[in-house]
Amino acid sequence: MNILVLDYGMGNISSVHKKIINSKDIIRVSSDRSDIKWADKIILVGVGHFKNAMKNLKNLNLLDDLNDFALIKKKLTLGICLGMQIMCDFSEEGNVSGLGWVNAKIKKFTTDNKLQFKIPHVGWNQIKIAKKNDLFNGIEESSEFYFVHSYFAEPQNKSIILNKTNYIHEFCSAFQKENIIGVQYHPEKSHDAGEIFLKNFLNL
């Protein structure tokens, strides 16, 4: 398989690359449009501001190629953290539209209990496996993954939710709509469970 880790200027590329480089797949890190056509699977990594992410994708002229890859050719695409969020329709962060692949809004955590709940949500937290999926083969219910985020996805269609996590309230921490997969946590920073997840994705 040809795996593209798309570099659209939003960071955290090297951490993911290091976790998958020893796989049997051919891995490229690139922002070149031609590599989107080359790839069998794409990983969209990202940390930072939603509006900047969308601006970078537009400035790199990647939107049409990404839409063709995910929506027309329906090839597997994994979004991690901000990469998950930009797959959605709209974000309160910057009040801008995303790729629109998943009918979901990105909302900001709010709380009156600022002593107990810090925003951003940073650290280890459990996932609840809401839906059986090969991505979680070998991963136990209530496994812990690493999170760094102030915003979360709220899908309109609850049937696409794969994982739920509780922080301030229960939120969607992973979803899958056909070939489009998003996780709010960072599998590349989540030790054994994260490595298993990434291997499962590469093996799909």
Q: What is the per-residue pLDDT across 13-32, written as a single tens digit (0 to 9) for each?
A: 999 999 999 899 999 999 99
CATH number assigned to the domain covering 2-203: 3.40.50.880
Banded model confidence at residue 10, pLDDT cuts 50, 70, 90: very high
Banded model confidence at residue 92, pLDDT cuts 50, 70, 90: very high
Query: Tokens at residue 81, please?
Result: 């953290």
Calpha distance 59→80 (Å, rounded): 21
Residue at token pair 């994260």: 194
Q: How does the average pLDDT of the chain come out, rounded?
A: 96
User: Does the annotation count 188 as an active-site position?
Assistant: yes
* Rounded (to 5) percent helix, strand, coil in the chain: 30, 35, 35
List the domain boundaries for the chain: 2-203
Calpha distance 43→182 (Å, rounded): 10
Euclidean distance between the first and final Cα of the chain, in Å?
10
Of 17, 121, 149, 186, the catalytic one is 186
* This prediction's pTM: 0.96
Banded model confidence at residue 105, pLDDT cuts 50, 70, 90: very high
pLDDT at residue 155 greater than cutoff 90: yes
User: Does the annotation count 186 as an active-site position?
Assistant: yes
Residue 114 DSSP label:
T
User: Does the annotation count 195 as an active-site position?
Assistant: no
Residue 50: count of CB within 10 angstroms of its CB:
24
Banded model confidence at residue 34, pLDDT cuts 50, 70, 90: very high
Of 81, 88, 121, 172, the catalytic one is 81
